[in-house]
Every structure is written in structure tokens, then in C-alpha cells.
Amino acid sequence: MDSGNFTFTMIKPGAVNNEYIGPILAKITDAGFRIAAMKMIKLRTAQAEVFYGIHKERPFFRSLVEFMTSGPIVVAVLEKENAVQSYRELIGSTNPEEAKSGTIRKLFAESVSKNAVHGSDSVENAANEALFFFSRSEIFTESGEVKLQFDVTV
């Protein structure tokens, strides 16, 4: 799992509530991603505020934090060659109305805010976001060994 070969995703509360965990994971694995780490959690407000801190001045920040803390989510680390870009293509545009057909957001998002999934937008953010939720001992390589090294310094 070298730099660029993994990404981080969340299945957001709306999609979990609509019982889309299974269909979304099927899209992910059908697209050739390996699940290297995964768990179901409920974000606390302070965690959501830190995770989305880059958006804190945006008008949608409070509603985004409220939505992301409204119910359980699934967090996962996905492994594939060129994972960050490949996964952004698989999920589609932030606004599902602009997302290409067949993308996860086109299929499962309710709106631009309740848009089904998160996907890291850079290799550096993928490392930061994965290590926000998982310890290194919870992230597994294909052989089942724990991946202790990340190429990106976090």
C-alpha cells in the first residue's frame, strides 16, 4: 500500500439509513478496490468539525456537521492502483445531479449535501483521513499483514 495506492472513504448517514451499505460496497469491490480497513461508527460533533475543518467558513458547514453526526457511518481504507483518482471517478461529482450515470453518487445520493459517500481528494489527505480513523495496526495489506509504513508523512 504505497503512496497513491490507497484512499479513504465514508458511507454517509443517509446511505447507511437507506440500507445502501451493501450495494455501495459491491460497487467498490466490483471496481477492483480491496478493503484494507473498515468499521461502522458514529461521529461526534468535534470529530466532524475537525474532519471537515477546511470547510468551516463555508455556509453549509453547520448543516454538514449536523448531517454527518446524525447517524452511523461506515469508514474504510481502500487499496487499488491510482486509488485516489480512480475512486473519485467511481463516486462522481459532489452534486449527484452532475454525477455521471453509474457513479455511486448518481445511484445512491439524495442531494449535494446528502451525497452518499466521501472520497479523499489527494494522496496526502487519504493518509491523513485514514489515520484519523484507524491505527496502523488496523490497516491490512493483501497478505493480511499489518501495513506499518505510509509514504506520506502525517
Which grid cell is 11?
458511507
Min dist. Cβ of residue 113 to ligand UDP (A)? 3
In the complex, the smallest distance separating the C-beta of residue 23 from ligand UDP, rounded to whole angstroms, is: 19
Q: Indicate whether 60 belongs to the interface with ligand UDP (CB under 6 A).
A: yes
Nearer to ligand UDP, 5 or 103 (CB): 103
Residue 87 as a binder of ligand UDP (CB under 6 A): the answer is: no
Q: Does 86 bind ligand UDP (CB under 6 A)?
A: no
Q: Which residues are catalytic?
A: 118
Residue 149 C-beta: closest distance to ligand UDP, Å: 26
User: By CB under 6 A, is residue 152 in contact with ligand UDP?
Assistant: no
Q: Phi-psi region for residue 82, left (φ > 0), alpha (ψ -120 to 50) or beta? A: left
Nearest residue to 106 (alpha-carbon basis) of 129, 116, 86 = 116
C-alpha cell belonging to residue 71: 447517524
Identify residues 100-119 at the interface with ligand UDP (CB under 6 A).
112-113, 115, 118
Is residue 45 within the footprint of ligand UDP (CB under 6 A)?
no
Q: What is the dihedral of CA 74, 47, 109, 57, to 10 degrees?
A: -160
Q: Measure the CA dihedral 57/63/65/68, to 10°.
A: -140
